[in-house]
Amino acid sequence: MTSRIRAALLGTVAVAAVGAGVLAFEPARAPFVASATAQGAITAPNSFADVVEKVKPAVVSVRVTQAAPQAMNYRELPGMDEDENGQMERFMRRFGEQFRNDPRFGGPGMPGGPRGPGGQRGMSQGSGFFISADGFIVTNNHVVRGATEADIVLDSGRTVKAKVVGTDPRTDLALLKAEGTDFPFVRFAASAPRIGDWVLAVGNPFGLGGTVTAGIVSARGRDIGSGPYDDFIQIDAAVNRGNSGGPTFNANGEVIGVNTAIFSPSGGNVGIAFAIPSETTKTVIAALREGGTVERGWIGVQIQAITPEIAEGLKLPKPEGALVAGVQPGSPAASSELKPSDVIVSVDGQPELSRRIAAVRPGTTVRLTVIRDGAERAFPLTLGRLPGDQASAQQPGRRAPRGEMTPETAPATPRLGMSVEPAGRGEGMVVTEVDPSGPAAQRGIRPGDVILDVAGRSVSSLRDVREALTAARADGRRSALIRLRSGEGQRFVAIPLNPS
């Protein structure tokens, strides 16, 4: 044999020698070993002890006392509306927040801890890590939310005071500044991890003190529905309540992510945890350190993902890009060439619209590349400043007042399973009734939604709707795109067309 494979299991190693018919056994020389000299063989570290010894002193416990308890609600994920939060309630369990009923963190038996002259108080607890010797600490926004100060418990057990420098709810990151100097600190990794790389999660799960768990990078670029900037690293290292804000390290002891969320039906670790990538963290923390806030670029459009049906309706070769469903009046997009039904495929030659725009400072001019009517075109657009918590143009739906209706009301599209009537003032057609078993209901169309255009044609009468559907069918399309305005803003829906 040109190579020899060793596998350690429960303190013994079995080595098979082929040729002489001999099967020999020898003691394991080190736990957790898998190595081979053949090309492409798997290798693993004998121990993580050296890395842990180096990085563990820089990881801290973050404790925040709140005058009125702010129970962590995993439904309150940044950038989500009520419906999305309802979905996430069934999917996510946020962790590392409240220990209000724990005698170590506020006293037993009281929902918010013991009562006193100042009323209730609660304790929020998580993890964090030093990124500089002068005391700057990275943690999660949800760990320190609503607080201005925090107690930092060092690995040695010493407690120091810290102030909240700034927070960014959109990425769930926060920056603290501890009192003192000469703190041990860690550095961010210069490159992104690969799927399959070893990782270490260090933190303070369940308030037990500094704890280390190991695993691998399971996936990258995860979108868990927490906001427009989702780009999480998925790891299988055990992460539990209290690990929030703690670092994930690579095998060299460099930070590759900040632990922020887990998937767990039970609330405990099931091997699926999510970390904010170091690339995102470095950008956000630098902004917080400079000015205490994060300013993001904004173009003022409402976008949606492109499904295969929508791609067919737009005559796109494949379902890629960001579909512009609406343009907000007075926004940078409204002053540009951008319009609904455009498909943005790149920003300055790079994909990932939301994250690219957010990473650029307001006032910067970028070059958008879009597909319109099957042809690609590019034009400049100067970014504005993201206003408040508004991540995209949200135009509230409007149910047309009955006084504006005309007698032209009919189940104009029985095959689509909905009835429409003019919304008045040339504002499209309002959906008056939806067949619960029809295609329209299956695609989320509801009474009160306003149809703005069908297959690229503006509609203001029943005749307009029928002509647009007939033209789409004659064009050989299997589905027609309908642009709707509802309470959630504007969106496109692809409705299948019956050839007859």
Active site residues: 142, 172, 244
What is the DSSP pairing of strand 173-178 with strand 59-66? unpaired
At residue 184, what are phi and psi to the nearest 5 degrees? -70, 145
| Bridge partners, 372 (sequence order) | 375
Q: How far apart are CA 275 and CA 244, in angstroms?
A: 9
Q: Residues 299, 304, 305, CA angle at the centre, nearest 5°?
A: 125
- Three-class SS of residue 246? coil
Strands (E), 36-188: 59-66, 92-93, 122-130, 136-139, 149-153, 159-168, 173-178
Cα distance between residue 279 and residue 275, in whole Å = 11
Tokens 């409007």 map to which residue? Answer: 398
SS3 state at 460: coil
Could you tell me where the DSSP H helices lie in 342-482? 353-358, 439-442, 462-474
- Indicate the SS3 state at residue 121: coil
Among candidate residues 332, 340, 458, the one with its CA nearest the CA of residue 384: 332
Ramachandran class of 300: left when φ > 0, alpha when ψ lies in -120 to 50, beta otherwise: left
How do strand 297-298 and strand 255-263 relate by DSSP bridges? unpaired
- End-to-end distance of the chain based on CA atoms, in angstroms? 69
Structure tokens at 306: 């492109």
Short-list 489, 461, 459, 460, CA closest to 480 = 459
Q: Which of 320, 329, 321 is nearest to 300 (CA)?
A: 329
- Whose structure tokens read 């201005």? 148
Q: Which among 464, 465, 453 has a CA at the least distance from the CA of 491?
A: 453
Q: Is 203 helix (H, G, I), strand (E, B) or coil?
A: strand
Which of 246, 268, 264, 243 is closest to 255 using CA atoms? 246
